[in-house]
């Protein structure tokens, strides 16, 4: 805690590949590009008084929460893993836009295949769910929430209504 107390309310600018983001130290919410943490490292565990493990868990939990805790593919099982839409074996990153929550069964079944090709072959394929995954990849929902008043339909509600 001493480390945090010595840097509270200082302003810093951290350059990223796409832009620079302003952080106020000592605040719980950290603003990044488009207001979301794209990588667990963006949570700045060393400045926000979170350990590396805590920052990573918080990042992973926020992704699962964004889908209502359900698998983004089948929408029937609890999401217990995160799937890389573009597999790491094929050059995929661990950025938020490349990770979606998945149940163990879907994640294992997909393996290192292209997510869309695999998903379209599944019995539970759903066009609305496909569109939601594509919106997640492009961060469309977060952009809309930044511009709107925050009244965006929950993904789980939309998927079940379309099924």
pLDDT at 36 exceeding the cut of 50: yes
63 vs 20, 22, 40, 68, CA distance in Å? 23, 23, 10, 9
| The token pair that represents 24 in the structure block | 């106020």
pLDDT at 35 exceeding the cut of 80: no
pLDDT at 83 exceeding the cut of 80: yes
pLDDT at 1 exceeding the cut of 50: no
pLDDT in tens, 106-163: 999 999 999 999 999 999 999 999 999 999 998 876 666 666 655 545 555 545 555 5
pLDDT at 96 exceeding the cut of 80: yes
Q: What is the pTM of this model?
A: 0.60
Looking at residue 18, its pLDDT comes to 41
pLDDT in tens, 56-68: 998 999 999 989 9
Number of CB atoms found within 10 A of residue 110's CB:
20
Q: Three-class SS string for 22-33?
A: EEECCCCCCCCH
Q: What is the overall mean pLDDT for the chain?
A: 73
Give the mean pLDDT of 38-42.
Answer: 65
Give the mean pLDDT of 74-93.
Answer: 94
Looking at residue 145, its pLDDT comes to 62
For the chain, count helices (H), then strands (E). Answer: 7, 4
Do you know the residue count of the chain? 163
């Amino acid at each position: 805690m001493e480390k945090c107390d010595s840097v509270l309310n200082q302003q810093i600018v951290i350059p990223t590949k796409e832009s620079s983001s302003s952080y106020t130290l000592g605040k719980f919410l950290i603003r990044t590009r488009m207001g979301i943490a794209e990588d667990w490292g963006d949570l700045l565990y060393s400045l926000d008084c979170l350990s590396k493990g805590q920052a990573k868990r918080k990042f992973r939990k926020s992704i699962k929460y964004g889908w209502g805790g359900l698998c983004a593919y089948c929408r029937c099982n609890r999401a217990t893993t995160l799937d890389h839409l573009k597999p790491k074996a094929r050059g995929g990153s661990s950025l938020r836009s490349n990770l979606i929550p998945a149940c163990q069964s879907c994640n294992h079944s997909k393996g290192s295949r292209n997510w869309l090709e695999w998903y379209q072959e599944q019995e539970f394929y759903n066009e609305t769910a496909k569109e939601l995954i594509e919106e997640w990849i492009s961060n469309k929902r977060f952009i809309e929430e930044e511009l709107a008043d925050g009244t965006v339909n929950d993904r789980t509600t939309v998927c079940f209504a379309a099924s």
